[in-house]
Amino acid sequence: MRMFQTEKQLLLSIKAQTAKGNRDNISRTKAYEQFFKTHPEIQWSFLAGMVSRNAGWNMCDLEGIWFSQLLSLKYRHHLFLTYEEANWRIFQDAYPQLLLYHYSTKYRRPLFHLGHYFFITKFMMEEWNSFWKHGNREKLVTALIINEQNIIEKPVIKKQSFVFHSLLFFLQDWMHFSTVFFPTCNGRLYGSSVSHFRNIDERIKLGKRLAGLLFSKELFPLFYEFSCRTEPTGARYDYEQYRKKPRYHETPMLRRVYPLIHHQAGDTVQWDENKRIKKDWFIEPRWEEDPQMTDWFDHKQKQLHKVVLIKNLLF
């Protein structure tokens, strides 16, 4: 009975910590990156933090001086909610996993069996137990990427399919919806893109490429320095301040333009109950692009500005 009370208190604490961390994009980013500082062996948490920063920048783009002139208020709001829900769902699923690992290290015994209280998939509970025994960091990163992309597949990607169909070329090539940037304090940007965002296999490949890039020996210290030095605000000025010719606040800070959103999890059907785990998901991806994207980003920004100017002239 005493152990049950201890576990019950632990579960309540994890639930409370998850709710606190999942308030908005900024709190999620900070929670992921702080966890990595405590447990650097859990590489996915740093990947999640840097990807969360990108989600914030994309959200704030919608209310910046350029996209607010191109997209209607209704459409921008719907895009924001799509970003927000996807990232909320991922955190709601992943952060209890991270905390169970944290307390497992604290009590020196695996506590992953408690994952079913948070509707964590059997797939991930097995992967955590495997990591506890064998310590394969790369395999755990890949498993978490696979899991989280499946978490958002049905309730976000499939449900909001019209978002990914409408203006698809615009979203992918102008809004950087399918591009993730890792900035550095020397002003350079690195990253990768996916050409078929709605395809889960392609999103998983993107996640694996990003993980490989983020933890490359040459670049990881630069990305980690950026993370430590730069408070996340959602504004692209987070990284544009380090450019040789920084742009000054073309996008707003997230908490100045967006309210807190109260989400409903909906059904709790676990994706791995009726879907097989593909072997290809665990295969290391091949790079087919230059990860240095500084010039690409500048080019896209110039194109975007031209489109806005032309629209204003014509309409």
Percent of the chain at pLDDT exceeding 90? 69
Residue 109, pLDDT above cutoff 60? yes
pLDDT in tens, 64-77: 998 898 888 988 89
* Cα 67 from Cα 60, distance rounded (Å): 10
Q: Which two tokens stand for residue 185?
A: 């304090």
Contact in structure between 238 and 254 (CB atoms under 8 Å): no
Contact (Cβ atoms closer than 8 angstroms) between residue 115 and residue 100: yes
Instruction: Assess whether pLDDT exceeds 50 at residue 3.
Output: no
Taking the C-alpha atoms of residue 145 and residue 93, their distance in angstroms, rounded to an integer, is 12
Most confident of 29-43, 163-177, 258-272: 29-43
What is the rounded average pLDDT of the residues 190-216? 92
Q: Are strands 179-183 and 189-193 parallel, antiparallel or unpaired?
A: antiparallel
108: pLDDT confidence band, cut at 50, 70 and 90? very high
> If 0-12 CB within 10 Å is exposed, 13-18 middle and 19+ buried, where does residue 220 land?
middle
181 phi and psi angles, rounded to 5 deg = -105, 140
Q: Quick check: 184 and 190 in contact, CB under 8 A?
A: yes
- Express each pLDDT in 212-229 by its tens digit: 999 999 999 999 999 999
- pLDDT for residue 248: 72
Residue 5 pLDDT: 56
- Percent pLDDT > 70 in the chain is 91
Residue 168's pLDDT is 46
Report the C-alpha gap between 234 and 120 in whole angstroms: 29
Q: What is the pLDDT of residue 166?
A: 57
* DSSP type of residue 192: E
pLDDT of residue 176 exceeding 70, the answer is: no
Round to whole Å and give the CA distance between 244 and 186: 9
| pLDDT, position 23 | 98
Q: What is the mean pLDDT of residues 96-119?
A: 96
Residue that is written with structure tokens 């990860």 in the block: 291
Give the pLDDT of residue 286.
Answer: 81
Task: Find where tokens 């079913």 sit.
Answer: 116
Tell me which amino acid residue 22 is.
Answer: N
Output the CA–CA distances (angstroms, integers) from residue 175 to 125, 137, 250, in the order listed: 36, 32, 14
Backbone angles phi, psi at 177, to 5 degrees: -60, -35
Cα dist. 119→122, 172, 268 in Å?
Answer: 9, 33, 7
Name residues whose C-beta falls within 8 Å of residue 199's C-beta, 6 or more positions apart in sequence: none
260 and 84 in contact (C-beta within 8 Å)? no
**pLDDT in the model for residue 171:** 53
The answer to whether residue 93 scores a pLDDT higher than 60 is: yes
Cβ atoms 223, 212 nearer than 8 A: no
Q: What is the pLDDT of residue 285?
A: 84
| Average pLDDT taken over every residue of the chain | 90
Per-domain residue ranges of the chain? 2-314
Looking at residue 311, its pLDDT comes to 77
Query: Has residue 91 got a pLDDT over 50?
Result: yes
The amino acid that residue 308 corresponds to is V
Q: What is the mean pLDDT of residues 22-30?
A: 98
Judge whether 61 and 302 are in contact, CB under 8 Å: no
